[in-house]
Homo-oligomer: A and B are copies of this chain.
Amino acid sequence: MQTFRPRVALQWQLARHRTADEPLAEWIPATVPGAVQLDWAAAHGLPDFTVGRNVELWDGLEDFHWTYRSRIDAVPARRPGERMYLRIDGVDYAAEVFVGSEQVGTMRGVQTPLAVDITDRLTPGVELRVRVHPAPKSHDRARDRTQANRTCKPAVSYEWDFHPRLIPLGLWRGAWLEIRPAIHFATLPEVEYRLSDDLKKARGQVNVTLSRPAGPGTRLRWTCSSPAGAVDLLVSVPADAPGPELTVPFALDPVTLWWPHDQGTPALYHNVVELLGPDGQVLDRAEVRTGFRRVRLVMAPDQWKSPTEFPKSRSLPPITFEVNGRALFVKGTNWVCPDIFPGAVTPDRYAEQLRLVREANLTLVRVWGGAIAPPEEFHDLCDELGLLVWQEFPLACNSYPDDPEYLAELDRESRSLIRRLRRHASVVLWCGGNELFNFWSGMTEQSLALRLLNRNCYELDPTRPFLATAPLEGMGHGHYLFRDPGTGAECWSLFQHAHCTAYSEFGVPASPSAETLRRILPPAEVWPPRPGTSWQLHHAFGAWMPSSHLYLEEIEYYFGPSGTLEQLVERGQLLQSAGLQGLFEEVRRQKPVASLALNWCFNEPWPAAANNSLVAWPAEPKPALAAVAQACRPTLASARVPRFSWRPGETFTAELWLLHDGPAPAPGVTIRAWLEIDSRRHPLGEWIAADAPANTNVAGPRVEAVLPPWHEPRFTLHLAASGRPEWDSHYTFIQARAGREEGGRTVEIRAGTTNF
């Protein structure tokens, strides 16, 4: 997705000031894209914020004014008629832009870029300046996320249960000079289409907006190459319309569909759109890719049957994704932000993490509304990898007001985002934001912000589904732990008794490696973990509940006291692995009533000492990532087991299942189940599973065995599919500790800082 225009890189410097007009004294080197804090830290030797309590030294820089400057020593050469544009692809969060003493633009909002023709203002020695405002804050609020309650700046950086308070500011996307042809594409061409009912043909048009109406003799040439590389369409039409807008209708028959990676090939067509001059020379050129697919949110089978009783309410809202006519069971994950400073995330880092998503057999990323909507390269990668994207607007856990000023900002930012992302096949859902219809947000369907977003999506992108928020009724968020210290309930049991249509957030936390912990925690604080130390600042204590996210008492509940950091980490990671394995497989068993399982969360913006993430910062997989990959294989033998810890003499039970989400039938198979206890095999039974139709599970028998006395702390349930080793599964269980407390106890839930 690009144009091919010469760029002139700019060297930027940065100065900090207390008021907008304070004379600027000290200039420091600036990296663009980046953030003012990173430049300031480099220039002034601020210590690594990921270590200990250093992050506190970074606090407050967002309350200053900051000015970027770049001096044009020599005006770049250009050919006759060409224009010089200043392009700034994103400012965090508001700025005025000057060339010399003249203001040429105003920016507000991370998603709204600036491209301004400054040809006539460029003189040797002229200075470009970008004057960045302090971060928006509702100063009548406490020092928490509610300070972001009337801005489109992502709320997460104002402090969250996995994000320290550190609020980035500055040019988070590129800023450079672009040499444009005299007449050029004002925006990237767009391929708009509808598929025929049988999904075999596409009809639509290419929409082009020029910088001005093209003259006689100009032509528009569109070359559309199929995913296999052949030129499918080559269209050349006169471009001299009365206005600057051109449309080229087309029909593709047959069309190769784009599929998410677990259903087929994410086939992308390659479009080259060129504006040709009277003598055939290429005036401007753009490339865009198109994945042809149809997406809908549909009702699960039987869902219309309820409710039955009088007085009668509505049926639940649909949340089953249907792609190209196939109702999917979607396994996915919540994407937060891979770094506190989004301007510091390179395309390689997105690629590294998204490859991990796909390798974990996950198909959807929910780009959570508390964090920033990532830049173009992210969605390009999702298109390529066949990942589905649930894209949220920047609202999360706040009550965003019916205020004209805020609504105008949201209008602008949401339109920018919709226009930028609607070309991506991967994006399958717009969502207003996170948990807005719960008490900690306090919004409702009457909130004008959500009515505005629905309006903008309807107008600019009507064929893509829109949800006001998640969860809606029928959908569930949480729990975020292995065992609730208040009720004593285990996460498996909670889900086995739940009846949600979609589980759009659930998590079990764990620590990163001991090595990482030793890096981020001061040596004196590393052992034992204690509240009030850097452990707490890194979310191991009091992040949400008093015990979260380390849940030291719960680890002790299952395993007894840990002797070393390594032992503690391994135990917590086992709980995370076992927990998520059980949860993903349990939601899959609830298909088709349930059709969506998204764990909270995939990644994290800095190294937490404990967190629900599968991948620790910057890209360190926890063992649970492999467990999730196992649980999310398209087809596997699976067991529903009521709990994690057992005592000798108890009857161990397991319901056997063949889980199958694949688009083709799975042949029947014989599944043997046994327990491996103290290295001895205890057979549980053998089940001849029938053929599984496409995207259909097969429920098997319940097997059971009385547990013998044993010695080792753990034992394993094995399921082996004859001739299909890739479907084999195994589950780890532990021996219940003698004399442990079994009951629940009451725990204070701090509503103010919750992120359910």
Using a CB–CB cutoff of 8 Å, the interface residues on chain A facing chain B are: 296-297, 299, 304-305, 310-318, 435, 437-439, 442, 444-446, 448, 451-452, 454-455, 457-459, 462, 465-469, 471-479, 484, 494-495, 498, 500, 503, 506, 756
Contacts and interface: CB of A to CB of B under 8 A. Distances in A.
A281 to B, nearest CB: 40
Contacts of A477: 310-313
11 contacts: A305-B439, A310-B476, A311-B477, A311-B498, A311-B500, A313-B500, A315-B439, A317-B437, A317-B444, A445-B467, A448-B458
Contact of A494 (B311, B318, B457): B311
A439 B316 CA distance: 11
Nearest to A457: B451
Contact of A438 (B296, B311, B314, B438): B314
A122 to B, nearest CB: 37
Contacts of A465: 446
A132 to B, nearest CB: 32
Contact of A452 (B444, B458, B495, B506): B458
Nearest to A458: B451
Nearest to A468: B445
Given A299-B444, A310-B494, A314-B435, 13 more contacts: A297-B444, A305-B439, A310-B476, A310-B477, A311-B503, A313-B473, A313-B500, A314-B471, A314-B472, A314-B475, A316-B473, A448-B462, A455-B455
Nearest to A469: B314
Contacts of A305: 439
A297 B451 CA distance: 14
A498 B474 CA distance: 19
A311 B452 contact: no
A741 B439 CA distance: 49
A297 B506 CA distance: 32
Contact of A756 (B312, B471, B500): B312
A437 B484 CA distance: 36
Copies of this protein in the assembly total: 2
A479 B311 contact: yes
A445 B313 contact: no
B756 A446 contact: no
B437 A315 contact: yes
A304 B444 contact: no
**Which A-B residue pairs are the 8 nearest by beta carbons?**
A311-B476, A304-B439, A314-B437, A310-B479, A310-B478, A455-B455, A451-B458, A473-B473
A313 B472 CA distance: 6
A738 to B, nearest CB: 29
Nearest to A452: B458
A667 to B, nearest CB: 34
Query: A313, A316, A498: which has the most chain B beta carbons within 10 Å?
Result: A313
Nearest to A464: B446
B312 A478 contact: yes
A445 B475 CA distance: 15
Given A445-B317, A465-B446, A506 B311 contact: yes
Nearest to A474: B313
Contacts of A468: 445
A451 B459 CA distance: 10
Query: A438, A471, A473, A475: which has the most chain B beta carbons within 10 Å?
Result: A473
Given A478-B312, A494-B310, A466 B451 contact: yes
A299 B437 CA distance: 11
Contacts of A296: 446
A289 B455 CA distance: 31
